[in-house]
Amino acid sequence: MNEAAPAKRKEGLARSWVRFRKNHLAMAGLIFLIVITVAAILAPWMAPYPKDAGLGVHFDKALSPPGPGHIFGTDEAGRDIFSRLLFGARLSLMLAVIVLGIAFSIGVPLGIIAGYFGGAVDEIIMRITDIFSSIPALVMAMAVCVLLKPSLENSMIAIALVWWRSFCRLAYGETLSLKQEDFVTVSRSLGSSSFYIMFREILPNMTSSLLVKITLDAGYAILVGTSISYLGAGASPPTPEWGIMVAEGRHYLPGSWWPSLFPGLAIFLTVLSFNLLGDGLRDFFDVKVE
C-alpha cells in the first residue's frame, strides 16, 4: 500500500463514469432525478404560488386550464397545480428515502445473519420472511396503515414494515454465496469475529447489488405509496401528495383533465427515471437483481 492507491482508485472511478455515461437511457434517468431533487429542495422558492401547497384557495380561478400564469392549470380550489407538484416531489422523495432506509436497516442485517449462521436461525428468519412475502406489499401496507390511522407519515412506516422482506431475501442470497469465498475463510482463520466478517467483509461485497435494488425499489415504493394515498389510506387533502391529487382530480374528468393528468405524469416520470437508472446500474455492475 502506498500513495498510488487512492490515485488509482480515482482513475478507476473516472473510467467507470465514462463507461456509464454511454448508457443514454440511464443518464436520462439520472438527469431527471437530479432535476426533480433540486426542484423538490427549492420548491418554496421555485414555486410560483408557494401558498397553494397548503390551504390557500382561490375559488374564482377554480379549474382554469393550463395557460400563462398557471402552466399546468389550477385544481378545483383554484390552486396552482405546478406549485403543488413541486411540493409533492418532496413528499414522494421523502417517502422513498424513509421507506428504503427503514427496510434496509431491518432487512439487510436479518438476511446476512440468516445466511451466515444457517441452521435454526436461518429457518426462523426465513420462514417469517416467507410469511411477509406471501401477501402483496400494497395490501399489507394498506392494512397496517389503516391500523396506525391513515396519514402520510403512517403510510411511510407501514410500507417500510412490509418492505424489509425483499432486502432480507437479497442479502440472504448474497451472503450464502459470499460466505463460500476465500476471503471469508482467510478472515475467519485470522481470528475475525462473526460480527466483523458479516458486516465488514460480506456486507461491502454486496454493495453493487444493494445499490441496484435501492434504485429500482425507490420507484416501486413511490408507486405503492401513491396508490395507498389514492385509495384513501394515506395522505389526506389538501396535502400536495401526488396520489391524492390524482384522486381529487378524477372527479373533474372528462371536462377538466389537467388536475389528474399532471400529478400522474409526475409519478410516472419519477418512477421511470428510477427504473432507467436502476436498469442501467444493473447492466453496469452485471448483477442479477429483480
Return residues touching other proteins (CB under 8 A).
25, 127-128, 130-131, 134-140, 142-144, 146-147, 149, 219-220, 223, 226-227, 230-233, 243, 246-247, 250, 253-254, 257, 260-261, 263-264, 267-268, 271-272, 275-276, 279, 290
The answer to whether 224 and 138 are in contact (CB under 8 A) is yes
- Give CA–CA dist 40/47, Å, rounded: 10
> Residue 60 Cβ, how far from other proteins at the closest point, in Å?
26
Residues 6+ apart with CB under 8 A from 182: none
Closest CB to other proteins among residues 79, 169: 169
Among 259, 239, 242, CA closest to 251: 259
> Residue 252 Cβ, how far from other proteins at the closest point, in Å?
11
- List, in sequence order, every residue forming a beta bridge with 80; answer none if it has no partner: 74
DSSP class of 67? B
- Give CA–CA dist 167/157, Å, rounded: 16
Residues 6+ apart with CB under 8 A from 194: 116, 117
> Residue 144 Cβ, how far from other proteins at the closest point, in Å?
7
Residues 6+ apart with CB under 8 A from 134: none
> Residue 31 Cβ, how far from other proteins at the closest point, in Å?
16
Closest CB to other proteins among residues 10, 127: 127
- Give CA–CA dist 66/258, Å, rounded: 7
> Residue 270 Cβ, how far from other proteins at the closest point, in Å?
9
Closest CB to other proteins among residues 153, 279: 279
Closest CB to other proteins among residues 111, 219: 219
Closest CB to other proteins among residues 211, 261: 261
